[in-house]
Amino acid sequence: MIGENGGEAGGNVDRLAPVIPLFGAKKASEASSGGRDEGTPSDRHPARGTAERHTAPRLRALHPHADSEEGTSDAEGAESQTPDPEETRKVAEEALVRKLRTRSLSVSESRIVLKGYSLESSQIDDVIDDFCRRGYLDDAILAGHLVISGVERKGLGRVALSRALAQRGIPRDVIAAALDEVPDDDDERALDFARTKARSLSRLDHDTALRRLVGQLSRRGYNGSVAMKAARTALTEASFGQPSSGVRFVDSD
């Protein structure tokens, strides 16, 4: 019986259906080898495969990002090197204010200062208009001050005054208006100046003293006739009231 059962059992074993791999032949072979593929372990490692899938795209994405940052940096650097027009104007205005604190300037002289800061013509016009509106620049007032100073402190005549104002870039019509305010007394002012110089020429002969005094008066803007008249009168007074034709000065040479 045991033999029969044993034989029957053996027959049942022989009749068992073969095992069919559910996940394909490759899986079955992996199962038979203990779940390892001896030939290509790195290809099948889940962690290695995941890392490779994520690493490659991430590295590819870094290059465009780096290029973008580099491009942005270059653009910002180029932008920082380009001067800001408003900032340039502010610097120029401050420089002009500093100069005006130490010396009065004409509109023409102020333009020269502003041009030194590479401002555009429209910007210079705007700054000049603004300063004129605020009263920082006024050619008429400046011309009046220069005329008064030239007359009272330097004894200048009209020609010299006109020349001095023109050298400061003051327009001709403004110069004419300023000179109209000066009393027409060139004869008197020329004589006052000649009197201050006549005594210093007392050691020269009359002709030399007269020539030098006329030259000094001419350089101060007095015309020929006014200068000659003032020089003759001052030299006569310097010789104790004697007629100029009878006075002889000793030549120091």
pLDDT at 94: 94
pLDDT at 17: 54
Least confident of 90-99, 177-186, 230-239: 177-186
Euclidean distance between CA atoms 176 and 40, whole angstroms: 106
- Do the Cβ atoms of 240 and 197 come closer than 8 Å? no
pLDDT at 44: 52
Query: Where would I find the H helices in the chain?
Result: 2-14, 24-32, 41-44, 46-81, 85-102, 107-115, 121-134, 139-152, 158-167, 172-180, 186-198, 206-219, 224-238
Euclidean distance between CA atoms 5 and 160, whole angstroms: 151
Residue 30 has pLDDT above 90, yes or no: no
Residue 214 has pLDDT above 80, yes or no: yes
Mean pLDDT of the chain: 74
pLDDT at 221: 83
Residue 244 has pLDDT above 60, yes or no: no
* Unique residue bearing structure tokens 């490759």: 26
Burial 14-38 (b: 16+ CB within 10 A, else e): eeeeeeeeeeeeeeeebeeeeeeee
pLDDT at 113: 94
pLDDT (average), residues 195-207 = 86
pLDDT (average), residues 84-96 = 91
33-74 confidence digits (pLDDT tens)? 554 545 554 455 444 554 444 444 443 433 444 444 555 555
16 Rama class: left (phi>0) / alpha (psi -120 to 50) / beta:
beta
For the ranges 11-20, 65-74, 197-206, 210-219, the one whose mean pLDDT is highest? 210-219
- Listing DSSP states for 121-144 in one string gives HHHHHHHHHHHHHHTS--HHHHHH
Band of residue 237 on the pLDDT scale cut at 50, 70, 90? confident
Euclidean distance between CA atoms 98 and 193, whole angstroms: 36
Which residues neighbour 238 within 8 Å (Cβ) at sequence distance 6 or greater? 195, 198, 199, 201, 202
- Do the Cβ atoms of 197 and 155 come closer than 8 Å? no
Percent of the chain past pLDDT 90, that is, above it, reads 32
For the ranges 12-26, 48-62, 82-96, 237-251, the one whose mean pLDDT is highest? 82-96
Backbone dihedral angles phi then psi of residue 2, each to the nearest 5 degrees: -65, -40
Least confident of 55-59, 183-187, 205-209: 55-59
Handedness of CA 54, 60, 64, 70 (dihedral sign): positive
pLDDT at 241: 55
pLDDT (average), residues 174-193 = 86
Band of residue 166 on the pLDDT scale cut at 50, 70, 90? very high
96-150 confidence digits (pLDDT tens)? 999 999 999 999 999 999 999 989 999 999 999 999 999 999 999 999 999 999 8
